[in-house]
Amino acid sequence: MTEPLDELVERAGRSEISSVRTVLAKIIEAISNPNSSAMNLKDLIEVDPPLAGRVLKLANSASYGVNRPLVQILDAIITIGFEAVRELALSQKVCEIFTKGEKFYGYTRTALWMHSVGVALCGKMIYRKEFRRPGDDIYTAGLLHDIGIIVEDQFNHAAFIKILERMQSDKCSIDVLESELMGFTHMDVGRKLSEAWKLPDELSQIIGIEGRPEMATTEQATMVMTLYVANHACNLKRIGFNETPNLNESLYLDCLSQLKLSELSLALIMNDVERSINQMTKEGWF
């Protein structure tokens, strides 16, 4: 038996998933605010032991070559750099939503997390290398674009297992089967959850249409098409969980064309994405 969309999101809001909501929302606010500073992040990080541990571990790693142990969060932020700490903080909090679960038909929450990170990295690199834009917002959207799948897995598990089974046997994309078996998609779930968590409106809207670039407004088009391309590229490279085994090649090529992004440029970006994923795997993220 499947659950109505609103009830599914309400259950998620009462679960352990919502325990990261407050800090996550504040980190996203800090990332989105051009006036935010190292002190804003310091105050958020210091009250979150797992996050503080990650930041201090990275700052004290050999790659930064510090000559004395760093024990203060502000010192760590200065050593690593504000931008790197923003991404680390965001990734750590989102990662906590993707708690480990069982493997079904090639799906695990860890594989979904790897895929989400891949899409976030690819989107950010496209923005920076091709558009000369910071890419902070698209990195956030990439990390969260499949959060609705986690909700379906946890709170509509029987229907979700049927979807995974059909994906494998019929080679259908997940959103097609979600619509057929549940009456909504993980994009709809993600949008509703983002709204309930009071995340920025633009982010909620992007999550709700990330797989439907034809629905984007003029203002949303670049971000949605970039996410679509990044998602497609990560699926082709088999980075984590593949939610679209039946790829829409014509839509993908249309997005590339509208973005004025060559396949060669994207291939070079994906080489960097794969290197970053391999490094994160060594560091224990996956």
Model pLDDT for residues 196-211, shown as the tens digit of each residue: 999 999 999 999 999 9
Question: What would the DSSP string read from start to end of 182-221?
Answer: HSS-HHHHHHHHHHHTT--HHHHHHHHHTT-GGG--TTTH
pLDDT of residue 29: 86
Q: How many CA atoms lie within 13 A of 47 on its CB side?
A: 11
Closest CA to 69 of 61, 78, 60, 77: 60
- Nearest-Å Rg of the Cα atoms of the chain is 19
pLDDT of residue 158: 93
Q: How confident is the model at residue 2 (pLDDT cuts 50, 70, 90)?
A: low
pLDDT of residue 31: 79
Closest CA to 130 of 253, 234, 238, 267: 267
Residue-wise pLDDT for 260-275, tens only, equals 999 999 999 999 999 9
**Residue 57 to residues 20, 24, 114, 121, 234: CA-CA distances in angstroms?**
21, 20, 21, 21, 28
pLDDT at 227 over 80: yes
pLDDT of residue 226: 98
Question: Residues 126, 134, 227, 272: is their CA dihedral positive or negative?
Answer: positive
pLDDT of residue 64: 80
Question: Residues 160, 162, 165, 168: is their CA dihedral positive or negative?
Answer: negative
pLDDT of residue 274: 97
Closest CA to 115 of 282, 277, 283: 277
pTM to 2 decimal places:
0.91
pLDDT of residue 148: 95
Higher-scoring residue by pLDDT: 95, 30:
95
pLDDT of residue 86: 87
Which residues belong to CATH 1.10.3210.10 in the chain?
5-17+98-282
Which residues, 6+ apart, have CB-to-CB distance to 257 below 8 Å? Answer: none
pLDDT of residue 44: 87
C-alpha of 172 from chain center: 22
Question: Residues 143, 144, 145, 151: is their CA dihedral positive or negative?
Answer: positive
88 close to 54: Cβ distance less than 8 angstroms: yes
Mean pLDDT, the chain, as a whole number? Answer: 91
Residue 187 phi, psi dihedral angles, 5° rounding: -65, -40
| Integer Cα distance of 111 and 149 in angstroms | 12
Q: Which residues pair with 104 in a beta bridge?
A: 107
- Which DSSP category does 104 fall into? B
Place of tokens 């930041």: 55
pLDDT at 195 over 90: yes
| Integer Cα distance of 60 and 80 in angstroms | 9
The domain 5-17+98-282 having CATH identifier 1.10.1060.10: the answer here is no
Place of tokens 């046997």: 169
Residue-wise pLDDT for 155-192, tens only, equals 999 999 999 999 989 888 899 999 999 999 999 999 99
Calculate mean pLDDT across residues 238-260: 91
Which residues, 6+ apart, have CB-to-CB distance to 26 below 8 Å? Answer: 44
Residue-wise pLDDT for 25-82, tens only, equals 888 888 778 787 888 888 889 988 889 999 999 889 877 877 788 899 999 988 988 8
Question: Residues 85, 88, 92, 98: is their CA dihedral positive or negative?
Answer: positive
Higher-scoring residue by pLDDT: 218, 248:
218
Calculate mean pLDDT across residues 111-136: 95
